[in-house]
């Protein structure tokens, strides 16, 4: 029997999901775990409002501003790589607990940092935690979720990332406007991160380990105990048998190394597609708004405190867009989502550049027009591309190279993010807001063309069907 037919038969014999305390327990587990996503969003977004007062106190230049911002992102690339390996060895729950403590340590160092060098160390430590959370939390959710609701449950982490970024913008606006005159006000903005980090640590102490990880480690009884807390009794018994079957299949499955992937033209091509999906997601420039939104809006004409308040609007539309995206993912083709997203973003970037030229500095309309275009950009990104990118990366790689493929793609994503974060202040300083957004528009036009030619369609296919189509090259035949 093929893996596909075995999986289908196993799915049919599982008892249906039923309401009860186990469903409420699963909701609680998902909420606690996704605090890791909230921390991800807050720590990447808080620099937005903290950077200007930090620059004044620590004497940062455009280049060192970029270093402070990007140090978290380079750390995240390392954290994403190490987090998966650590969670395989120590467990998902244990790794998330360790990440919560890493968030606390990094926050403490940043809050007391007396100099540029110490700040970079603290931000790098925070990056390890952010990168680890970006890989471990989705895996933990997916391994605990029933297959019927896995997409919506795992997608909550993306929503919490957007909520975390919105929280950072809101906290920055409140603290900046109420205590903006206080020396070191940016330290208070950073210190708020300790609250969800403590909540994550305390909450995870009472959360279960992944039953899939427990089965892989030979701890069947413990895994069944966990499943009985988040499933009905008959469903737990049936599902533990399914997990054991899949674990046995994967143990026998040959894992493909990088050399073998590069030697096979179809596997090499799907790896390049995955890297393109990851890298172009960063070249949308979404994180320039998350990290430097206050700077962009100040360049547009807002006063510093007004820019902090205005910055909440992109954060709010980001949350709304990510929720809408969860609804669309099972109803709209992946290629349609990507192509629509890149087309819209290219238009908004061109219009931002044109508005900054057509509306002179000092014009009353200039800051509000640019803010409206930034909101449209963020809304398009969150609705059509952000969730879709992570779903696509989780689907396109065959089982035997899935860990390798996702690892390489996400590593490239974080490195691109870091380089953009490092150089964006210098780019704006050198060519201005107009030039920066015209540059991003060019990146996104290229992304649209690359996706039009190379992106496969995966909606409505099982993972086994996708794997077979990748192996034969059938997946690259685009059917409109």
Q: Which of 293-302, 329-338, 434-443 has the lowest mean pLDDT?
A: 293-302
> In which band, very low, low, confident or very high, does the pLDDT at 12 lie, cut at 50, 70 and 90?
very low
Q: What is the pLDDT of residue 35?
A: 95
Q: What is the pLDDT of residue 354?
A: 92
Fold match between domain 15-207 and domain 254-480: yes
Q: What is the pLDDT of residue 478?
A: 62
> In which band, very low, low, confident or very high, does the pLDDT at 203 lie, cut at 50, 70 and 90?
very high
CA dihedral angle for residue 180, residue 68, residue 139, residue 378, rounded to 10 degrees: 60
SS3 sequence, 186-233? HHHHHHCCHHHHHHHHHHHCCCCCCHHHHHHCCCHHHHHHHHHHHCCH
pLDDT higher than 90, residue 471? no
Tokens 């006063």 identify what position?
A: 303
**Looking at per-residue confidence, does 399 or 314 come out higher?**
314
> In which band, very low, low, confident or very high, does the pLDDT at 461 lie, cut at 50, 70 and 90?
confident
Q: What is the pLDDT of residue 247?
A: 63
pLDDT higher than 90, residue 261? no
Contacting residues for 95 by C-beta, under 8 A, at least 6 apart: 83, 86, 87, 132, 136
Q: Per 3-state DSSP, what percentage of the chain is helix, strand, and coil (rounded to 5)?
A: 85, 0, 15
**Looking at per-residue confidence, does 340 or 392 come out higher?**
340
Residue 242 burial (10 A CB sphere; 0-12, 13-18, 19+): middle
Q: Which of 340-354, 388-402, 414-428 has the lowest mean pLDDT?
A: 388-402
Residue 10 burial (10 A CB sphere; 0-12, 13-18, 19+): middle
pLDDT digits (tens, 9 = 90+) for 119-171: 999 999 999 999 888 888 877 887 787 767 666 676 788 889 889 988 998 89
pLDDT higher than 60, residue 250? no
pTM across the whole model: 0.76
Q: What is the pLDDT of residue 156?
A: 80
Mean model confidence pLDDT for the chain: 85
Instruction: Measure CA of the first residue to CA of the last residue in the chain; give whole Å.
Output: 33
Q: What is the pLDDT of residue 293?
A: 72
Q: Where are the domains of the chain?
A: 15-207, 254-480
What percentage of the chain reaches a pLDDT higher than 90?
35
Q: CA nearest 91: which of 212, 248, 250, 236?
A: 212
Task: Give mean pLDDT, residues 6-21.
Answer: 63
Q: What is the pLDDT of residue 111?
A: 96
How many whole angstroms separate alpha carbon 375 and alpha carbon 47? 19
Cα–Cα–Cα angle for 369, 372, 375, rounded to 5 degrees: 150
Tokens 């540029």 identify what position?
A: 116
pLDDT higher than 70, residue 83? yes
The number of beta carbons lying within 10 Å of the beta carbon of residue 364 is 8
> In which band, very low, low, confident or very high, does the pLDDT at 252 lie, cut at 50, 70 and 90?
low
What percentage of the chain reaches a pLDDT higher than 70?
90
> In which band, very low, low, confident or very high, does the pLDDT at 453 lie, cut at 50, 70 and 90?
very high
- Asked whether 87 and 143 are in contact (CB, 8 A), the reply is no
pLDDT higher than 80, residue 304? no
Q: Which one-letter DSSP state was computed for residue 476?
A: G
Q: CA nearest 323: which of 186, 175, 152, 198?
A: 152
- Asked whether 480 and 455 are in contact (CB, 8 A), the reply is no
pLDDT higher than 60, residue 255? no
- Asked whether 58 and 119 are in contact (CB, 8 A), the reply is yes
96-113 burial: b if 16+ Cβ within 10 Å, else e: bbbbbebbbebbbbbbeb
> In which band, very low, low, confident or very high, does the pLDDT at 248 lie, cut at 50, 70 and 90?
low
SS3 sequence, 239-253? HHHHHHHHHHHHHHC
Question: In what helix (H) or strand (E) does residue 286 lie, and over which residues does it extend?
Answer: helix 286-300
pLDDT higher than 50, residue 418? yes
Residue length, the chain? 480
What DSSP string describes 74-85? HHHHHHHHHHHH
> In which band, very low, low, confident or very high, does the pLDDT at 462 lie, cut at 50, 70 and 90?
low
- Asked whether 283 and 441 are in contact (CB, 8 A), the reply is no
Question: In what helix (H) or strand (E) does residue 480 lie, and over which residues does it extend?
Answer: none
Q: Which of 97-101, 125-129, 407-411, 453-457 has the lowest mean pLDDT?
A: 407-411
Task: Give mean pLDDT, residues 224-244.
Answer: 86
How many whole angstroms separate alpha carbon 280 and alpha carbon 271? 14
Q: Which of 192-206, 298-312, 363-377 has the lowest mean pLDDT?
A: 298-312
- Asked whether 211 and 221 are in contact (CB, 8 A), the reply is no
Which phi and psi angles does 93 have, rounded to 5°? -60, -45
Q: What is the pLDDT of residue 10?
A: 43
pLDDT digits (tens, 9 = 90+) for 308-331: 778 788 888 988 998 898 888 878
Q: What is the pLDDT of residue 256?
A: 60
Tokens 């979404």 identify what position?
A: 286
Q: What is the pLDDT of residue 465?
A: 77
- Asked whether 294 and 51 are in contact (CB, 8 A), the reply is yes
SS3 (DSSP) at 6:
helix
Any idea which fold 254-480 has?
A: Growth Hormone; Chain: A; (1.20.1250)
Q: Which of 195-209, 245-259, 269-283, 320-334 has the lowest mean pLDDT?
A: 245-259
pLDDT digits (tens, 9 = 90+) for 421-448: 778 778 877 887 788 889 999 999 999 9
Q: Which of 14-18, 126-130, 263-267 has the lowest mean pLDDT?
A: 14-18
SS3 sequence, 102-142? HHHHHHHHHHHCCCHHHHHHHHHHHHHHHHHHHHHHHHHHH
Q: What is the pLDDT of residue 291?
A: 67
- Asked whether 361 and 449 are in contact (CB, 8 A), the reply is no
pLDDT higher than 80, residue 412? yes
Q: CA nearest 216: which of 90, 81, 398?
A: 90
424-453 burial: b if 16+ Cβ within 10 Å, else e: bbebbeeeebbebbbbbbebbbebbebbee
Any idea which fold 15-207 has?
A: Growth Hormone; Chain: A; (1.20.1250)
- Max mean pLDDT range (26-30, 102-106, 140-144): 102-106
Q: What is the pLDDT of residue 213?
A: 86
Task: Give mean pLDDT, residues 52-69.
Answer: 88
């Amino acid at each position: 029997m093929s893996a596909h037919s075995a999986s289908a038969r196993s799915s049919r014999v599982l008892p249906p999901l039923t309401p009860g305390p186990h469903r409420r327990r699963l909701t609680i587990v998902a909420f606690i775990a996704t605090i890791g996503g909230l921390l991800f969003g807050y720590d990447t977004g808080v620099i937005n409002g903290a950077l200007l007062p930090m620059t004044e106190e620590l004497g940062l230049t455009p280049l060192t501003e970029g270093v402070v911002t990007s140090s978290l992102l380079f750390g995240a690339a390392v954290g994403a790589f190490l987090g998966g390996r650590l969670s395989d060895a120590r467990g998902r729950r244990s790794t998330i607990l360790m990440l919560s403590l890493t968030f606390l340590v990094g926050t403490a160092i940043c809050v007391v940092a007396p100099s540029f060098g110490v700040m970079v160390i603290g931000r790098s430590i925070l990056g390890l935690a952010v990168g680890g959370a970006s890989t471990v939390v989705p895996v933990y959710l997916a391994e605990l979720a029933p297959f019927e609701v896995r997409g919506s449950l795992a997608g909550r982490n993306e929503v919490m990332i957007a909520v975390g970024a919105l929280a950072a913008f809101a906290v920055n606006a409140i603290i900046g406007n109420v205590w903006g005159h206080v020396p070191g006000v940016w330290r208070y903005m950073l210190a708020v991160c300790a609250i969800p980090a403590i909540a994550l640590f305390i909450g995870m102490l009472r959360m279960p380990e992944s039953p899939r990880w427990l089965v892989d480690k030979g701890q069947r009884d413990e895994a069944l105990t966990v499943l009985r807390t988040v499933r009905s009794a008959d469903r737990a018994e049936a599902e533990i048998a399914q997990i054991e079957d899949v674990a046995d299949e994967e143990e026998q499955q040959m894992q493909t190394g990088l050399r073998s992937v590069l030697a096979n033209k179809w596997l090499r091509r799907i790896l390049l597609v995955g890297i393109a999906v990851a890298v172009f997601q960063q070249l949308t420039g979404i994180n320039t708004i998350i990290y430097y939104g206050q700077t962009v809006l100040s360049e547009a004409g807002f006063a510093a405190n007004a820019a902090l308040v205005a910055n909440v609007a992109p954060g709010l539309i980001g949350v709304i867009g990510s929720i809408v995206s969860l609804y669309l993912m099972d109803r709209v083709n992946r290629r349609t989502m990507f192509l629509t997203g890149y087309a819209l973003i290219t238009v908004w970037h061109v219009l931002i550049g044109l508005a900054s030229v057509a509306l002179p500095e000092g014009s009353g309309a200039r800051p509000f027009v640019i803010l409206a275009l930034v909101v449209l950009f963020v809304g398009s990104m969150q609705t059509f591309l952000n969730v879709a990118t992570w779903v696509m990366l989780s689907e396109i790689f065959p089982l035997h190279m899935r860990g390798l493929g996702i690892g390489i793609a996400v590593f490239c994503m974080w490195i691109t993010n870091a380089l953009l974060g490092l150089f964006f202040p210098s780019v704006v300083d050198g060519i201005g807001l107009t030039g920066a957004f015209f540059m991003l528009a060019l990146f996104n036009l290229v992304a649209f063309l690359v996706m039009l030619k190379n992106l496969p369609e995966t909606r409505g296919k099982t993972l086994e069907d996708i794997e077979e189509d990748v192996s034969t090259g059938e997946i690259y035949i685009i059917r409109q």
